[in-house]
Structures are given as C-alpha cells and as structure tokens.
Homo-oligomer: A and B are copies of this chain.
C-alpha cells in the first residue's frame, strides 16, 4: 500500500464532506430544487471574492474563465498590456493574441514580481491601453504579484481594465475585489476552494460591464452578459454543472466556518513554515521575492534534477507535488499548500523532501526541516 498525498498546485485535495455531498442524486438545473443551491453558491462566492457584484459561475476549467475575460470586454485590434512573469502570464498573451488583440508585454524574470511603477510608466506613455492582465499568484514560479498596488494604478485610467488571474491565489491570498478596484478576477474550482476541476468563477466590475457593451468578439459559450442575466434568476446560461455547484456550497460552508481572516492566516502560516523548513535544509527558493502563499517553488540543489525529486516523491513516497514547467523544468520542484491543507500536510511534505534528497545523495540531516516546521506550526 502506498497511501497518496496530493500536494500539487491543482487539483488539490477535496474533503470527504464535499465529495459525498457531490454523490447525492442529481437534481435538475431548471427546477426549484436547484434555485436555492445556486443562490447560496452565488452569495458564498461574493463573500469569498469580497465583492457586492455577482460572481459568474462557468462550466469549464479556469482557463475558460480567462478566455471569457478577454472575449467579453475587448475588440479585435485593441491594445492591451500583459505582465508576463511565467507560464500563466504567457497564457494571457496567447489568449489575447488568439482573439486578435495587440499585446504589449512587461516581461518579468521568472521568480520575480513585477515592479508596479513599470505598469504606471507604460500606461502614462500610451493612453490607448485597454486592459492590464496579470496573475495574482504565478503558479509556475511561486511568485505573488502585488495586486493592491497594481489595481490602485490601473483604476486611475478610465479606459483601462484591470484583469487578474487569481486561479491559484484565491483563498490563499487576501484579494479585495471591490475595495482595491479589480475589474475582472478569475478563479477555478480545483484550487483553494477544494473542489474537483470543472468550474471557473469570474467577478466583473461596473466599469468592465460598461466595456462589455461594445465588445464584438465571438462569445457564444463564454457569454458573460447572458450569464449575468441567468445568474439574476439563479440559473446559468447552459446546463448547470449541478454536482460541482452542490460541492461548492459545501466547500464554502467550511471556509465560512473558519472565517476569511483565519483562512488567509492559515495559508500564510503554512507557506511561511514550508519556506523556512526547506531553507533550513540548505535549499533555495525559486521565488526570489514576494513568494506566493499558494505554493512554494524550490530550487533543486546543484547536480540534482528537479524532475527526479518530484518523481521520487511520487513514486517512492506517494506524494504528488509538481515539477518545473518550461524553462524551470529540471531546475525546481513545487509544493502546494492550498485549500484543504493543514500543519501535518506540511510536515509530510518536508519529511518527504528530506527523505528523497538524502536518498539522492544530497547531504541532509533528517528531521532538520521538519523541526523548523514543527516549531513554526505549534499552537
């Protein structure tokens, strides 16, 4: 028996309570049985997003929400600015280009966070920029971009929307949609909200809804105006993924019982303990600054292949973490602390890393990192 531990940055573990709620008999999405279910999910998402506006619920992966954030608010030829500091930054660029937008990029070295003043400069120089796209937590590098600072810059430009991919940051970071002025924020089910993959969430500001009026890009499946009309009636535009929405309510209930502030504190504490523990083993963080609370990206020690660390964790110890993507492949491995995780998931991860690295010939005094984690995670 090799017991499995899922510590990847999505999908993340789903609590049994949620899995079993999803195993109740299927109900019809246009029946009165479903209306209170969606109503409750809608209110729960407003709470989680810290917004008074509706948060749309889409039947797709998080990427579908990102596509909708483009095809509902822009037009062919629009100039937009993408903050590209990793694989998911690149994704914004590719999506925008696939719809014929003209993309300017601020290229951020992998492992670093964007300097907000660079965005300010670009916007000042070129008033024609219709949107600024960024990741809150860039999953490929484990870096958190300063969403509050960026929002406060972009919101001064009347004709520019601020669009945040918060797919891996939601739940792990305090993201204040209304207070900070985030125009569009995308989330996904298989991350902090502790659900299987299959749902995307998108908040939309009044400023963004106004821009939507003039957008002419094709938008049959990801049609946000239709989704908003339906959501007002506690419906979705097409067949609702009823099972996942039932699960969403269960997850939100668990998060609400914990309280938003405690949820953020837990993620911060687990992230901090992970970072301190791996550094105590002599390892270096891949994120040179502003590390994300959703996951920790760790440099493989010299002479050791990051992919091999990740594979050994899985094959020898049953721990599914993540390797590196694209240019970081082989150089790093990544441990998530996102969603349904607590202290002993971190202890497990650190112990696993110690055992794997020692097995690969890296000089580790077993228990060193674990001791640090224990100390930081004591009540």
Contact = CB atoms under 8 A, between A and B. Distances in A.
A238 interface: yes
Contacts of A60: 59-60, 64, 221
A309 B60 CA distance: 34
A27 B6 contact: yes
A60 B59 CA distance: 5
Interface string A216-256: 01111110000000000000001111111000000000000
A9 B98 CA distance: 35
A94 B219 CA distance: 11
Nearest to A100: B218
Say whether chain A's binding surface is mostly helix, strand, loop, or mixed.
loop
Interface stretch (A13-21, A111-119, A327-335): A13-21
Contacts of A23: 16, 19-20, 22-23
Contacts of A10: 239
A62 interface: yes
**Residue from A28, A71, A240 with most neighbouring chain B CB atoms (10 Å):** A28
Contacts of A4: 25, 27, 33
Nearest to A12: B26
A290 to B, nearest CB: 25
Contact of A217 (B218, B221, B238): B218
Interface stretch (A129-137, A190-198, A204-212, A274-282): A190-198
A239 B31 contact: no
A31 B314 contact: yes
Contact of A218 (B71, B198, B242): B71
A243 B197 contact: yes
Nearest to A63: B238
A296 B63 CA distance: 38
A195 to B, nearest CB: 9
Given A218-B98, A218-B99, A196 B243 contact: yes
A197 B98 CA distance: 28
A294 interface: no
B20 A242 contact: no
A29 interface: yes
Nearest 3 CB-CB pairings of A with B: A196-B243, A19-B23, A98-B220
Given A4-B27, A14-B25, A28-B320, 18 more contacts: A6-B27, A6-B28, A11-B29, A14-B26, A19-B24, A23-B23, A29-B197, A33-B320, A62-B238, A63-B221, A64-B221, A64-B238, A94-B220, A98-B218, A98-B220, A99-B218, A188-B239, A197-B239
